[in-house]
Chains A and B, each alone.
Chain A
């Protein structure tokens, strides 16, 4: 498992930059690409904002399913107040990247192209 320490990237007690989030995102998908699990460690981080969480974690849902992310990503030392915010970001990301199916699937004619 690869550990990514958020504070090493933000160099601060706060994770409030979308650009820093982008750096974290790239490190995570680099490991995911090798099927290597990641531990995202928020030790020393007191405050985050949605801009950081969107670009670091929310964006993962554009590339990976929730099941895959659950398998490959662990998060530790995120203050409980920030977990609440992360939940909002993840719920929003799941909604945005979910596949949209028509309401009445039974009424759609499927064409067998084989």
Chain B
């Protein structure tokens, strides 16, 4: 199936979801709009757009604009879509105009962060995620693990992407009791990092590269450094939390939901990485620390 014609007008699909198909569409869009043309993104048919995907749309627009492409956004008539994009600030971004969000909404704003400015992201996550009224009933242990998971992903971008910016957007899904946060950077892919790490990994495709990277203890860092724990810790937590982790990078798609994995090779490359984490906010686990440990004994 092809979403694109030779026309510069690109119709967004009826449903744009955070899944294999959604990421495929967005990867194609990234590639198609990189040719320094003028593109009209047409929202006419869109009935459902998961707002956290604005992180990917923003990354596509920003990076291709920097290459000389130009974007116009048409037929943003649907009130639901218009409202969603207004509430997370994406409408301001694409229309370059001020649109005030509703007083009570469930969007986590679209933002672009300089990868060197870690404090800004820290404040953003604190303000819009941890202090959000949607997560009041979770234990301190669960909140700690959510916060840690987000920063482990962010630090992976800082250390491995070679990019300057990360695009972030999220959404609380009240009825499902879940929160999705998507982080995107256009830079080195998982495949690039893994295949260039050791000669024996040279033949790995996108899926195999992601599978290698999410395994405990595997890291592409230099020999005098340690790593390879962050993504595994996130996976362990998300299994207990009944959450979901999705990664789209190069030609690989990888997801783990409630501990069940699904992987697939994709026909198009995404020249960077999209990581989406979905947390279950109805998690009642306390996540106690089992015992006091004498620090000296672990050194």
Q: Are A87 and B233 in contact (CB under 8 A)?
A: no
Known interface pairs A17-B155, A49-B148, A83-B293; A55-B141 also in contact (CB < 8 Å):
no
Q: Are B295 and A78 in contact (CB under 8 A)?
A: yes
Q: Does B252 contact A (CB under 8 A)?
A: no
Of the candidate stretches B73-81, B92-100, B168-176, B220-228, the one touching chain A is B220-228
Selected contact of B155 from candidates A16, A66, A90, A95, CB within 8 Å: A16
Selected contact of A92 from candidates B155, B228, B295, CB within 8 Å: B228
- Report chain A residues within 8 Å CB of B119: 11-12
Q: Are B298 and A90 in contact (CB under 8 A)?
A: yes
Selected contact of A51 from candidates B152, B292, B298, CB within 8 Å: B152
- Report chain A residues within 8 Å CB of B225: 54-55, 58-59, 62
- Closest B residue to A46 using CB positions: B144
Q: Are B227 and A70 in contact (CB under 8 A)?
A: no
Q: How far is the CB of B155 from chain A (nearest CB, A)?
A: 4
Q: How far is the CB of A81 from chain B (nearest CB, A)?
A: 5
Q: Are A50 and B144 in contact (CB under 8 A)?
A: no
- Closest A residue to B231 using CB positions: A50
- Closest B residue to A16 using CB positions: B151
- Alpha-carbon gap, A86 to B148, bound state (A): 13
- Closest A residue to B223 using CB positions: A62
Q: How far is the CB of A14 from chain B (nearest CB, A)?
A: 6
Q: Are A47 and B148 in contact (CB under 8 A)?
A: yes
Q: How far is the CB of B213 from chain A (nearest CB, A)?
A: 14
Q: Are A49 and B122 in contact (CB under 8 A)?
A: no
Q: Does A75 contact B (CB under 8 A)?
A: yes
Interface string of A59-75 (1 = CB under 8 A from B): 10110001001100111
- Alpha-carbon gap, A62 to B222, bound state (A): 11
Scoring B158, B233, B289 by chain A CB atoms within 10 A of each residue's CB, the highest score goes to B289
- Report chain A residues within 8 Å CB of B19: none
A-B interface pairs (CB < 8 A), number: 100
Selected contact of B293 from candidates A50, A51, A84, CB within 8 Å: A84
- Report chain A residues within 8 Å CB of B228: 92
Interface size on B, residues (CB 8 A): 31
Q: Does B132 contact A (CB under 8 A)?
A: no
Selected contact of A80 from candidates B148, B289, B298, B299, CB within 8 Å: B289
Interface string of B259-299 (1 = CB under 8 A from A): 00000000000000000000000000000011011011011
- Report chain A residues within 8 Å CB of B292: 80, 83
Q: Does B61 contact A (CB under 8 A)?
A: no
Question: Knowing that A62-B224, A80-B289, A92-B228 are A-B contacts, what are 5 other residue pairs whose CB atoms are under 8 Å apart, sorted by A's residue number?
Answer: A49-B151, A49-B152, A87-B293, A88-B229, A90-B299
A-B contact pairs, 30 of them (CB 8 A): A17-B155, A19-B158, A49-B151, A49-B152, A49-B155, A50-B152, A50-B229, A51-B155, A51-B156, A51-B159, A54-B226, A54-B227, A62-B226, A70-B296, A73-B299, A74-B295, A74-B296, A80-B289, A80-B292, A83-B292, A83-B293, A83-B295, A86-B298, A88-B229, A88-B233, A89-B229, A91-B298, A92-B228, A96-B217, A97-B226
B residues within 8 Å of A by Cβ? 118-119, 122, 141, 144, 147-148, 151-152, 155-156, 158-159, 217, 223-230, 233, 289-290, 292-293, 295-296, 298-299
